Amino acid sequence: MATMPAVESADLRPALRILDEMSPVTASDTIPLLQRLQEAYGYLPREVVLEVSQRTGLPASRLFGVATFYAQFYLTPRGRHLVRCCRGTACHVRGGKNVISTAEKVLGIRDGETSSDMSFSLETVACLGACALSPVAVVDGRYLGKTTPARLEHVLRTMREEAAGPAENREEST
């Protein structure tokens, strides 16, 4: 799966390795640097960003500013599975709102949240770039075009059951 486990307290070794490989790091490397850090950590831990700032001389305000500006960056840990639902116009008029509310209901989280067991994160996006297939959801990078609430519910419940492991840990369907 795409996401990496979150680190509790920052292990700086991956960051130091990345800095070493990218050296010398300049301001124009900010985005690729943040991308590589996020690849390594699954998100951008604050301690890592501050350490990188110190070691490169890139102002922390710049690093956090870029990380905050671009939707691709995350400053908090994400779940092992990432569910993205489109809230754009093309999807909205074809029932995207019901797709989003289904994801919220099945996962028990709202837009921008991560489940307490770190299994799922849910995001809504202004456009997933596949309007012809609306309504669209993307689960761990897999596009579900012309999706329906029932189809998404089936996909998510199957994933939850797989994540829960043995049958005794599974939740009852409501």
Least distance from ligand FES to the Cβ atom of residue 62, Å: 31
The residue whose two tokens read 């289904």 is: 102
Using CB atoms within 10 Å of the CB of residue 170, give its burial: 0 to 12 exposed, 13 to 18 middle, 19+ buried.
Answer: middle
Told to check if 86 binds ligand FES by CB under 6 A, we report yes
Instruction: Name the minimum Å distance from CB 92 to ligand FES.
Output: 7
The residue number with the shortest CB distance to ligand FES is: 88
Of 67 and 122, the one with the shorter C-beta distance to ligand FES is 122
E-strand spans in 88-152? 120-125, 137-139, 142-144
Q: Which residues have C-beta within 8 Å of that of residue 148, sequence separation ≥ 6?
A: 95, 99
Query: What is the distance between the terminal CA atoms of the chain, rounded to a whole angstrom?
Result: 27
CB of 93 to ligand FES, least distance (A): 9
3-state secondary structure of 61: helix
Residue 86: CB minimum distance to ligand FES, A: 3
CB of 101 to ligand FES, least distance (A): 16
- Give the residue with the Cβ less far from ligand FES, 66 or 125: 125
Is 144 a residue that touches ligand FES (CB under 6 A)? no
* Stretch of 15-23, 62-70, 86-94, 150-158 contacting ligand FES, by CB under 6 A: 86-94
Q: In angstroms, rounded to a whole number, what is the distance separating the alpha carbons of residues 116 and 15?
A: 27
Helix (H) or strand (E) holding 30: helix 30-41
User: For the window 104-143, what string marks contact with ligand FES as x by the rule CB under 6 A?
Assistant: -----------------------xxxxx--x-x-------
Residues 53-82 that bind ligand FES (CB under 6 A): none
Which of helix, strand or coil describes residue 74?
coil
Helix 13-22 and helix 46-56: axis angle, to 10°?
40
Residues that bind ligand FES (CB under 6 A): 86, 88-91, 127-131, 134, 136
